[in-house]
Structure 1
Amino acid sequence: MDEEENLQTVMGLIMNGGNAKGAAVEAIKAAKTGDFEQAAAKLKQSDEFLSEAHNAQTGMLTQEASGEHTPVTLLMVHGQDHIMNAITFRDMAGEIVDLYKQLAEK
């Protein structure tokens, strides 16, 4: 992977991570107002962004495993950080949406 391809991949990680977290935040907001259909749609959208990021990560890992080393830059670390935080936030958003749903049923 050349430097330009690497930059595009890392920017994809950052964008998809940010989009995934943003969709998870929107899911919580929708659940807070009782719109559980919208909340579910936003969680699904978050999962789709995370899937895109995961595919990019898998490509990078496959290249690394085949002997094509990619230099680790601060930007790459930042991209990976975005993904890790988005995954954690998505998991928590799912739990919060479930809690709002339980409260609404009572």
Structure 2
Amino acid sequence: MENSEELQQSMQIIVEAGDARAFVMKALDQIGEANYFEAKKSLDFAHEKLNKAHAIQTGKIQQEAKGISVSYSVLFSHAQDTLMATSSEYNMTKHLLKIFQAKEQ
């Protein structure tokens, strides 16, 4: 069973990745409106959130790599999945922004 700290870490990854996803979706809308400056700002906010989530995940993985027992958790698996999916969406949106900006020039 997951202890309170592990639960909190998993939930924090989900929250940060979820916030990042909201910024990515906002950036997509802004790209659709050809508002590239605002889209870049939204992607910057998303990147900050993703970095926070990734740092938490990395810390947990490093514990296990050091031999510290980390129990299996469906919630942590969900957190990692959420982070991975949002990271992919972020990378795709960042690429789309470059494509749309290049088309305008």
Q: Would you call these one fold, judging by a TM-score over 0.5?
A: yes
Question: Residue 44 of structure 2 aligns with which residue?
Answer: 44
TM-superposition CA deviations, 1:28-80 (whole Å, max 9, x none): 11111121111010111111011001110121022112211111111111100
**TM-score of the pair, normalised by structure 1:** 0.90
Q: Which amino acid aligns with 1:23?
A: F
Q: Moved runs in structure 1, 4+ residues, more than 6 A?
A: none
Q: Which amino acid aligns with 1:104?
A: E
Question: Residue 33 of structure 2 aligns with which residue?
Answer: 33
Question: Residue 85 of structure 2 aligns with which residue?
Answer: 85
Separation in 2, partners of 1:63, 1:5: 13
Question: Residue 60 of structure 1 aligns with which residue?
Answer: 60
State percent identity of aligned pairs: 26
What runs of 5+ residues in structure 1 fail to find an aligned partner?
Answer: none
SS at match of 2:7: helix
**TM-score of the pair, normalised by structure 2:** 0.91
Question: Residue 100 of structure 2 aligns with which residue?
Answer: 100
Question: Residue 24 of structure 2 aligns with which residue?
Answer: 24
Separation in 1, partners of 2:26, 2:100: 14
**Corresponding residue pairs, total:** 104
Separation in 1, partners of 2:69, 2:50: 24
SS at match of 1:84: helix
* RMSD, aligned α-carbons: 1.3
Separation in 2, partners of 1:9, 1:18: 14
Separation in 2, partners of 1:55, 1:19: 15
